[in-house]
Amino acid sequence: MGGPWTIPEVESIIVETWMDMSSKELNPTAKEIRAKVRQQLNEAGKSHLHVPGIRKTQDIIRETRNSYDNRPEREKKLDNPWSIGSLKDFPLSPDTLPHVLRVWKFCLIRGELLTIRQANWVAQLSHCGSTVYGLWAMAASYARKEQASVSLREPLFETLGLDSSWTQGLWESATASSIGRKHWGRGSSRFSSMFDENTVNVIVHEAEQSQFPHEEDTVIPFDEQRSHFHNQMLEMDDINTLGLTDEAIIVYSLWLSYLKKGSKWRRLKAGKRITIVKQLRNWVQNQANILASFLESDYRPYEELSRIVEGRPEKLLKLVGYEEE
């Protein structure tokens, strides 16, 4: 393909977008595909990634279409409508059939036909979706990505970004991106907690209790620092008493871990650290209330959602050394 090199991630999104829009009989133009891709990148916090021009996008789609049309026969059959009769050539585990049939019926009601490829993904993900729609949306995403991977002739079918998107909420995703965590997807409004209470408690404990090990504090002696901080932490209410969702608790843990890496954190007295922990809890609780009110509203513009989930505890960041960030 001519023109500047397009990174594989963007090329894959272009192909997936084209396939998705084409499956809905939209017959998209390169201009429309570019606009959709740009929107997806913006929503994913990756607006810095370059989207090729119209001619380059047309070249990508043209080559993809040719590759897709010339794929092996068995690959072609995977995109045929699924039926119970297709089990003869494409068997599924019997225990997954009730899930597949529910999604198949859901598609019929929508005026669509479940493909064999999609049915395979429904079967594989049948214990992950909490609702029929949720399972369908997950399966459709993986099937579309698989189609794109086949068309691009990728040597490895890699789904890390998609996997993480389905296992975290929008707020958690935005926070992870803000603090520079790797391997986090865009997040999903259909996210539901995957953890039990004990696991969530472990996550919080690791963020709260690893404040002082291996630190060399120059303000007060290390042992006194540790004892003072630990005792005050024990006096604080358990975070589970605040009525926060699991996602909000994870966001709190992510921000606390990040604050501890600030250049000024080690120079702070234990009492000041405790104050920061309390203020962070209050900030998370306030953000959680704002987010809950927004999600309950009938009017939910994406720009407002972005502003909420991308919020940062700026005052606390400055206190621990993240100056003017």
- Residues 182 and 88 occupy one common structural domain: no
Q: Is residue 13 part of a domain?
A: yes
The amino acid present at 231, given as its one-letter code, is N
Give per-residue burial for 135-160: e unless 16+ CB within 10 Å, then b.
Answer: bbbbbbbbbbbbbbbbbbeeeeeebe
In the beta sheet, which residues pair with residue 115? Answer: 81
96 secondary structure, DSSP code? G
The whole-number pLDDT of residue 3 equals: 55
Asked if residue 165 belongs to a domain, the reply is: no
Residues 41 and 146 in one domain: no
Judge whether 2 lies within some domain.
no
- Please name the residues in contact with 239: beta carbons below 8 A apart, sequence gap of 6 or more: 204, 249, 252, 281
Rounded Cα distance between 79 and 73, Å, is 10
Q: Closest by alpha carbon to 36, among 10, 3, 1, 5?
A: 10
The answer to whether residue 109 is domain-embedded is yes
Q: Look at residue 6 in the predicted model and tell me its pLDDT.
A: 77
pLDDT of residue 224: 63
Show the domain range for 90.
75-158
Q: How far apart are alpha carbons 247 and 168 in whole angstroms?
A: 8
Question: Do 80 and 106 belong to one domain?
Answer: yes
Predicted confidence at residue 48, as pLDDT, reads 78
- Residue 164 makes CB contacts below 8 A (sequence gap 6+) with 173, 183, 184, 185
Domain co-membership, 79 together with 65: no
The per-residue pLDDT for 213 is 43
| Residue 295 and residue 179 share a domain | yes
Residue 215 confidence (pLDDT): 46
Residues 292 and 196 in one domain: yes
Within a domain: 324? no
Q: Between the CA atoms of 195, 199, 201 and 205, what dihedral angle is there, to the nearest 10 degrees?
A: -130
Does 229 reside within a domain?
yes
Q: Are residues 60 and 125 in the same domain?
A: no
Same domain, 49 and 143: no
The per-residue pLDDT for 266 is 82
Claim: this prediction has a pTM higher than 0.95: no
Do 201 and 244 have their domain in common?
Answer: yes
Q: What is the CA radius of gyration of the chain?
A: 24
Per-residue pLDDT, 226: 58
Task: State how far the Cα of 316 lies from the Cα of 259, in Å rounded to an integer.
Answer: 8
If one counts the domains in the chain, the total is 3
pLDDT given for residue 214 in this prediction: 43
Burial (CB < 10 A; 0-12, 13-18, 19+), residue 233, is: middle
pLDDT averages per 10-residue partition of the chain, 325 residues: 69 87 79 89 76 90 84 90 96 96 96 95 88 91 89 80 80 87 64 72 80 45 59 75 87 93 86 91 94 82 81 94 71
Predicted local confidence at residue 210, as pLDDT: 60
Q: Where are the alpha helices (DSSP H) in the chain?
A: 8-23, 30-43, 54-69, 73-77, 97-109, 116-124, 132-151, 160-166, 170-178, 197-209, 222-235, 246-259, 270-296, 302-309, 314-319
Residue finishing a domain among 158, 193, 211: 158
